[in-house]
Structure 1
């Protein structure tokens, strides 16, 4: 049986020309460098020759001509996505990790993504579905699509056979050329509520609808649209915040900087055809929906 191709983007062995490495200085500053025969990395602390790194293992410490030591490592996926060239803003690693888990992206999953942006979330989705899955990414802007394609190719080292990148509007393209049913739909776009009906048409029963938005107004509109549609479970909304810690002897405390709010994640599951979500039992706070609110689907459960 032939070996399956390695589509993880993880490289092993000695460093080769064309590979990207991260050089970390004693102050923790990281520099992303693409290696080339005869190349040189210039810093205020001297020059590092690429030839000192090539055809040798990662994890070494090299010294610049100015005497500064740099730790040499291949970048992890999270490091690559935060330092890679970008057109659109990227989905940060903490949010990509939450999306992969909360949307339950599994090996072999059939997934639709929109928009692809710069390809950061795309890489996490491709790694999760593996070579047996299927990822169709939609991106409205041709320039963003080109950046995403290049970033994915640079990280993986080749084209991913499970990935299709389509330039165009998600709703229009789904109407013109409907794909086979999918297990998951992940949206990172300006107006994802416009795609709820289309998601209902293509998601299998039990499939996960996952939406990443930046503002509370987007959050509220997506949730209300899912409720009005009636064919999805009650949406769940979360955000993740990461705070680093500094440990120096007895001085153990939170770092002064942290990765705070970057976006909200909304997840909901598709119901079977003809089924509607059970009416919510809890009563909204008085005035939450305004004086004329009559409750979901005409019921009178306003406070």
Structure 2
């Protein structure tokens, strides 16, 4: 859906079309992502479902199989996508994602830098948070992982809001072209302290930085790097109290 100014609004209204991605819901813990194709069928324990019967129905519809069994066809919202996506890496889940977006103060129109992309769970939610006029620039050092993420973002309809780059942020830092432009920077890296100086350069006045790490040793080293960076970039807002929620995945 497009807004009046031509920008894209992340919306799943309307009817299911050939080529759309839907989340097939069998029960709470059994869901899968399926790309609709007029000539394809889905077979499961409830019977055979023709994709052609799905086309034209609204998201959320209950559809019947040849045996009278049924499933629901749900929209690929960021929450549902997090539950069904391919795990190329360990991912963030809804509770952590909600907390992160709140603390990063991401709103429509924000510009966000992220590293690394991984499986794209957080990235999809970031895209919805910045829509319709913001943008997420996400980076991963692994070329194939980045390519898979691009395909996923296209499937879920957020590709116009996300740019995926292949870059070693720990070793190279963020591209200079984003210096002083980012509202928020998110780091999910093995050695995030190496990227902190570059992140400091990227943030706007009063920008927000978050580093998410599983080990307290990583948090301690990142805190040390943040202290040094704050001495250089005094305009950055970084409350060390916020680091409490960055300790675990």
TM range, smaller chain: 0.7 to 0.9
Question: CA shift at 1:141, angstroms?
Answer: 0.8
Structure 1 pair 18–202 and aligned structure 2 pair: CA distance change class (3 A): same
- 2:207 maps to 207
CA contact (8 A) 2:8 2:131 kept: no
Greater per-residue helix proportion: 2
Alignment of 1:56-205 (within 5 A): 56-156=57-157, 159-160=159-160, 162-174=161-173, 177-181=176-180, 182-205=182-205
- 1:4 maps to 6
- 2:47 maps to 46
In the alignment, the residues of structure 1 paired with residue 28 and residue 153 of structure 2 have an alpha-carbon distance, to the nearest angstrom, of 30
SS at match of 1:90: coil
Give the superposed CA RMSD. Answer: 2.7
SS at match of 1:206: strand
- 1:20 maps to 21
In the alignment, the residues of structure 1 paired with residue 220 and residue 170 of structure 2 have an alpha-carbon distance, to the nearest angstrom, of 21
Question: CA shift at 1:180, angstroms?
Answer: 3.1
Structure 1 pair 62–131 and aligned structure 2 pair: CA distance change class (3 A): closer
CA contact (8 A) 2:171 2:194 kept: no
In the alignment, the residues of structure 2 paired with residue 175 and residue 18 of structure 1 have an alpha-carbon distance, to the nearest angstrom, of 35
- Count of matched residue pairs: 240
Structure 1 pair 66–156 and aligned structure 2 pair: CA distance change class (3 A): same
TM-score between both structures, scaled by the size of structure 1 = 0.70
Structure 1 unmatched ranges of 5 or more: 241-260, 264-303
Matched, 1:223 2:200: no
Structure 1 pair 52–115 and aligned structure 2 pair: CA distance change class (3 A): same
CA contact (8 A) 1:85 1:147 kept: no
TM-score between both structures, scaled by the size of structure 2 = 0.83
SS at match of 2:178: coil
CA contact (8 A) 1:7 1:156 kept: no
Question: CA shift at 1:191, angstroms?
Answer: 0.9
SS at match of 2:49: strand
CA contact (8 A) 2:108 2:131 kept: yes
> Which structure has the larger Rg over C-alpha atoms?
1
Question: CA shift at 1:186, angstroms?
Answer: 0.7
In the alignment, the residues of structure 2 paired with residue 25 and residue 129 of structure 1 have an alpha-carbon distance, to the nearest angstrom, of 31
Question: CA shift at 1:174, angstroms?
Answer: 4.0
Question: CA shift at 1:135, angstroms?
Answer: 2.7
Higher relative CO (Cα under 8 Å, sequence separation at least 6) belongs to: 2
In the alignment, the residues of structure 2 paired with residue 47 and residue 221 of structure 1 have an alpha-carbon distance, to the nearest angstrom, of 55
Structure 2 unmatched ranges of 5 or more: none
CA contact (8 A) 2:92 2:121 kept: yes
CA contact (8 A) 1:110 1:133 kept: yes
Q: Deviations 1:204-254 (Å, cap 9, x if unpaired)?
A: 3321111111233322332233235443644123449xxxxxxxxxxxxxx
